[in-house]
């Protein structure tokens, strides 16, 4: 494709002169548009891009210098050339003062016209490149600022990290355990999903997993006889520290159930089998979280053979009104009983839901109806 011809807007109230100049420019390889008035110029430059504006110094309702001043803001990289049949030192100085690229006297001398046009074009290219460069620098600065502010947000979240605990009850109302849930005081990263995403983005997920497990271990050490469910990210399975028998959580592993969400894809294979075997050898129990959330397949059940499954709250919601949800939960509790797996129903918000899931065979219940996440209770009784 041939490169686009440089575009020149010719402005002159002498129509014959303007048209003839336009034709001459076309012969020199420029694309030219001719207008007679400053109003037409303003309208055109708002709609179209011109590399050069070649204007008479004395237009009917406006002088060329004022026109140049107006155009600088609208089209900052367009170069201006002024022409006059009545040259004076004063007008030449004024033209230089507003930063025009060239000053021509009429009648135009062809060689001088060519050289002024070519210089203006070079100026225009340089101005365009400089502007693009400035825009690039501004964009990079903004991106760098956003990166560092996100990094400092994450730092703040790490510095204020804490866990809250939501109780899990047996069907008779006795408390069985608590689930540990990640929090921070950061205005945005207080949400665990956002905190975790930010940690992944900044390569700090492993550090986050270790901090959560260490905090959970403190609680288990401080409360003998209590049980905790601790969420782990599937990538935590690749962290050696999880298998370190000297780690804070290892010595209380027999009171800890590790929840792995069904939302994330587990990679089946020997490595996974070895990891799960090692965790069980250390005393951990394994739970599949969010079963039925509609993300993964039931494959995670087969891969992990969990001690606990946690039915996602999307299946629990309004279960008493929905025979399909009832059949699904019944199928899961029946299968789990055969496998010796405990079933927790999550997100119970109403008495009707609690009654329904209990009838459908859930072993354990969790939800706002029974207890919201909060500080670990000082005095606690475990079933």
Binding residues (CB under 6 A) for ligand C2E: these are: 166, 180-182, 192-193, 196, 212, 231-233, 259, 261, 289-290, 313, 346-349, 367-368, 373
Closest distance of CB 137 from ligand C2E, Å: 39
Nearer to Mg ion, 113 or 260 (CB): 260
Q: How far is the CB of 361 from ligand C2E (least distance, A)?
A: 20
Q: Considering CB distances under 5 to 8 angstroms, the limit depending on partner class, which of ligand C2E, Mg ion, none binds residue 233?
A: ligand C2E
The span from the CA of 7 to the CA of 4, in Å, is 9
Q: Nearer to Mg ion by C-beta: 35 or 232?
A: 232
**Residue 347 interacts with, from ligand C2E, Mg ion, none (CB under 5-8 Å by kind):** ligand C2E
Binding footprint of Mg ion, residue count (CB under 5 A): 5
* Site for Mg ion contains 236 (CB under 5 A): no
Nearer to ligand C2E, 84 or 300 (CB): 300
Residue 262 binds to Mg ion (criterion: CB under 5 A): no
| Partner from Mg ion, ligand C2E, none contacting 349, C-beta within 5 to 8 A by type | ligand C2E
Instruction: Quote the least distance from Cβ 266 to Mg ion, whole Å.
Output: 15
Q: Which is nearer to ligand C2E, 56 or 290 (CB)?
A: 290
**If phi over 0 gives left and psi between -120 and 50 gives alpha, with beta otherwise, what is residue 217?**
alpha
Least separation, in Å, of the C-beta of 253 and ligand C2E? 17
Question: What is the C-alpha to C-alpha distance for residues 194 and 199, in angstroms, rounded to an integer?
Answer: 8
Which of ligand C2E, Mg ion, none interacts with 81 (beta carbon under 5 to 8 A by kind)? none
Q: Pick the binder of Mg ion from 56, 290, 329, 367 (CB under 5 A).
A: 290
Is 102 or 347 the residue whose CB approaches ligand C2E more closely? 347
Question: Per-residue x/- marks for Mg ion, 214-233, CB under 5 A?
Answer: -----------------x--
**Closer CB to ligand C2E, 193 or 338, in the complex:** 193
Binding partner of residue 78 among Mg ion, ligand C2E, none, CB under 5 to 8 Å per kind?
A: none
The 3-class SS string of the chain reads CCCCCCEEEEECCCHHHHHHHHHHHHHCCCEEEEECCHHHHHHHHHHCCCCEEEEECECCCCEHHHHHHHHHHHCCCCEEEEEECCCCHHHHHHHHHCCCCEEEECCCCHHHHHHHHHHHHHHHHHHHHHHHHHHHHHHHHHHHHHHHHHHHHHHHHHHCCEEEEEEEECCCCCEEEEEEEEECCCCCCCCHHHHHHHHHHCCCHHHHHHHHHHHHHHHHHHCCCCCEEEEECHHHHHCHHHHCCCCCCHHHHHHEEEEEECCCCCCCCHHHHHHHHHHHHHCCEEEEEEECCCCCCCHHHHHHCCCEEEECHHHHCCHHHCHHHHHHHHHHHHHHHHHCCEEEECCCCCHHHHHHHHHCCCCEECCCCCCCCECCCCCCCCC
Instruction: Give the C-alpha separation, 208 to 238, whole Å.
Output: 14
Pick between residue 113 and residue 212 the one whose CB is nearest to ligand C2E. Answer: 212
CA distance 174 to 168: 9
Is residue 289 involved in binding Mg ion (CB under 5 A)?
A: yes
CB of 329 to Mg ion, least distance (A): 15
**Closer by beta carbon to ligand C2E, 105 or else 206:** 206
**To the nearest whole angstrom, how small is the minimum distance from the Cβ of residue 178 to ligand C2E?**
12
Select from ligand C2E, Mg ion, none the partner in contact with residue 63, using the beta carbon and a kind-dependent cut-off of 5 to 8 Å: none
d(CA 287, CA 180) in angstroms, rounded, equals: 14
Residue number with CB closer to Mg ion (54 or 332): 332
- For binding to Mg ion (CB under 5 A), which residues are involved? 231, 259, 289-290, 346
């Amino acid at each position: 494709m041939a490169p686009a011809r440089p575009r020149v807007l010719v402005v002159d109230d002498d129509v014959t002169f303007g048209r003839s100049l336009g034709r001459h420019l076309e012969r020199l390889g420029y694309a030219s548009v001719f207008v007679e008035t400053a109003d037409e110029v303003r309208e055109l430059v708002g709609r179209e891009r011109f590399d050069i504006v070649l204007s008479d110094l004395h237009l009917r309702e406006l002088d060329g210098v004022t026109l140049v001043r107006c155009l600088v803001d609208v089209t900052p990289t367009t170069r201006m050339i002024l022409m006059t049949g009545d040259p004076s030192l004063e007008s030449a100085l004024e033209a230089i003062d507003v930063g025009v690229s060239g000053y021509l006297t009429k009648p135009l001398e062809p060689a001088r016209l060519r050289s002024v046009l070519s210089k203006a074009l070079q100026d225009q290219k340089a101005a365009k490149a400089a502007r693009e460069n400035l825009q690039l620098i501004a964009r990079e600065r903004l991106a760098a600022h956003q990166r560092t502010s996100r990094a400092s947000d994450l730092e703040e979240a790490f510095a204020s990290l804490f866990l809250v605990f939501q109780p899990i009850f047996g069907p008779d109302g006795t408390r069985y355990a608590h689930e540990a849930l990640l929090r921070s005081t950061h205005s945005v990263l207080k949400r665990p999903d956002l905190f975790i995403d930010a940690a992944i983005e900044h390569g700090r997920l492993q550090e986050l997993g270790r901090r959560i497990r260490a905090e959970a271990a403190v609680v288990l050490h401080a409360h003998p006889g209590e049980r905790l469910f601790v969420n782990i990210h599937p990538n935590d399975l690749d962290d050696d520290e999880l298998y370190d028998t000297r780690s804070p959580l290892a010595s209380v592993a027999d009171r800890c159930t590790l929840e792995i969400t069904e939302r994330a894809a587990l990679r089946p294979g020997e490595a996974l089998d070895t990891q799960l075997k090692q965790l069980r050898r250390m005393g951990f129990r394994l739970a599949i979280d969010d079963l039925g959330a509609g993300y993964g397949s039931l494959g995670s059940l087969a891969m992990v053979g969990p001690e606990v499954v946690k039915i996602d709250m999307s299946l629990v919601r309004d279960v008493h009104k929905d025979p399909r949800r009832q059949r699904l939960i019944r199928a899961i509790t029946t299968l789990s009983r055969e496998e010796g797996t405990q079933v927790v129903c999550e997100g119970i918000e109403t008495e009707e839901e609690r009654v329904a899931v209990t009838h459908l065979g859930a072993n354990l219940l969790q939800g706002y109806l029974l207890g919201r996440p909060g500080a670990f209770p000082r005095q606690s009784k475990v079933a």
